[in-house]
Structures are given as structure tokens and as C-alpha cells.
Amino acid sequence: MRKNVFRLLAVLRLVLGVLMLLALTATFLDFTGTVAGWFPWLREVQFMPALLAGSALMLVFLLVATLLVGRVYCSVLCPLGVFQDLVRLVTFGRWRDRRFKARPGGPVLSAIQGWTRLGILLGFAAGGFLGLHFTWLDPYAIYARFVSFCLTPLVKACRHADAIAAWADGAEGSFTRVLEVVVPASGFALAAASVLAFIAALAAWRGRTWCNTVCPVGTMLGALAKFAWFRPHIDASSCVGCRLCERICRAHCIHIDVKAIDHTQCVSCLDCSAVCPKGAITWKR
Ligand code: SF4
Ligand code: SF4
Ligand code: SF4
């Protein structure tokens, strides 16, 4: 019974995340500004833009949400996080992790990841103080750049299908117009697509590796999530050591040998509670 409730919640979490991602993407692609008018809070609720804009209300909202249920920003609101989950879904990552018995990294890998996260966060903060915003590492900016430089030109190309057709017919001057419209910044488009492709490859290979190795926002939220009011715990007396939760955890933060979960890396996806046959993973303080 409880397992089914968690299953439902895990599906709802993903559906909500995908709807957010689609709505946010639509706000970028809609030139009329209509969609942005429907969901003005979608951009405002993004962590780095809120921090840079000094939006106290949004920051307090995100911090309180994290202190309540962990990295909910990473599971529902962050476009890059949901994008990684979608990549994992379509590349059958969950199935592969179960089939090939994925395990969390050992102490050496964990230490490397920890030091990398800390170094990137310190570099990110130092860059901010010096006025150099490392926006290539801001998850919202990474996704926004991909949409702006790669998807927007495609939409524009569709809107100017008449010019493309004219060019195909050999009409004079149309070729230049089509190039101007479709690839106004091909270098930026290539860079934005490469970054996203790299993150997608990591997600297909090993779930939220980008989130738990590189992303400075994830590192900040993870430090708070450790103290979250509701976070997953393993009941050692009910656990039978089947390791199902350990394998399907997209953040690879469950360590069944010691019956522990690294709450700094957990992205509150609920999958572990949904999959546990013994109902041994509960959410509590
Ligand atoms: S860790 Fe960063 S990229 Fe991953 S979901 Fe959280 S904010 Fe987004
Ligand atoms: S799925 Fe449940 S029973 Fe199996 S190892 Fe995880 S907590 Fe233990
Ligand atoms: S421990 Fe892993 S599977 Fe469980 S909620 Fe956190 S990220 Fe998801």
C-alpha cells in the first residue's frame, strides 16, 4: 500500500517536472510573450537568477522548501535536472542500473567528487565577487542558452518557411536571409549544444553525475538538504539487503552496506521508497 503511494508520488514528481520544463521552454520560444505572461514565476523561481537579482522572496521560498523536503528544486523546478531525468528515462538508465547492478561510487570516487564540488563552488563564489559570473555552470543558464541558440533558430526557420522555400527555388537574396535567420550565432549554438550533449551523456551513463559532481547550485542546496525536515531513511530492521534502492537511485547516494543515505546528494525523487519491497525507506527527520 505504502509502496503504491510512493510510486504514485514518484510519477507525479516526474510529470510535474516535465510540465515545468515544457512550460519554461515555451516561455523562451514564444516570441509573443503570451506564455511568459501565463507563468511569470517560472523564471523568477530559478535559483541563480533569483540570487543574482537579490530576490529575497524567491530565495526564502527555495531555501524553506529545501529545508522541508530536501532538494525539491533539483527534482521539479530545475530545467537541467528534469532534462537529465528525461535522458535517463529514454536511454533506459533505470533498467540498465537494475540489470547491470549499478553501485554507488567507493570512498575514492566520493572523495574526488566532494573535492571537485567544493573547488567548483569556491571558484563560482570567487568569480561572483570579482564580477565574473560563471554562468556556464548555472543550470538555468545552460538550459536557457541551449533553447535560445539551438531551438529558437529552428522555430524561426519554421516561421520563415516561405523564405526557405524561395531559396530552394533559387530566388535571389533568399539564401542570405535564410542564413541570417536560421544560424545567427552558429558558434554559440555549437557550444551550447555541446555542453548539453555532454551533460546528457553523463546522465545516460550514470544518472545525476553532473548534479553531484559539478553543479554549484546542487552543492549549495545539498548542504541545506542535509538538515531537511523530511528526508529518506532506511529502517535497518526491515531492510533485507536486496540493493534494489541502491541500484535505481539516480544520484547513487544510497549505501546499503552501512544502511545510509547521503542526504546532500539525494535529489528527492522518491524512487527508492517506491521500489523497496519491504517499505523500509521512509521519509522523516
Ligand atoms: S544539481 Fe544543479 S543541475 Fe542538478 S538539478 Fe540541482 S540545480 Fe539543477
Ligand atoms: S530496496 Fe528496501 S529492502 Fe532492498 S536494500 Fe533497499 S531498503 Fe533494503
Ligand atoms: S535516495 Fe536516491 S532514489 Fe531515494 S529519493 Fe534520494 S535520489 Fe531518489
Mean pLDDT of the chain, nearest integer: 88
DSSP-derived secondary structure letter, 70: S
DSSP-derived secondary structure letter, 135: G
Q: Is the CB of 278 under 6 A from ligand 2?
A: yes
* Distance between Cα 236 and ligand 2 center (Å): 9
- Mean pLDDT on 236-244: 95
Residue type, position 159, single letter? R
| CA dist list (Å): 109 to 81, 113, 213 | 22, 6, 10
Q: Is the CB of 281 under 6 A from ligand 2?
A: yes
Q: pLDDT tens, 146-181?
A: 998 888 887 777 776 666 666 656 655 566 666 665
Q: pLDDT tens, 76-132?
A: 999 999 999 999 999 998 888 888 788 888 888 888 998 999 999 898 888 877 777
Best mutation site among 217, 224, 265, 267 for ligand 1, i.e. most ligand atoms within 8 A of its Cβ?
217
14 neighbors 20 (Cβ within 8 angstroms):
no
Full-model pTM: 0.89
Closest residue by Cα to residue 199 from 100, 78, 97, 118:
78
Q: What is the pLDDT of residue 144?
A: 93
**Nearest-atom index, ligand 1, CA of 212:** 1
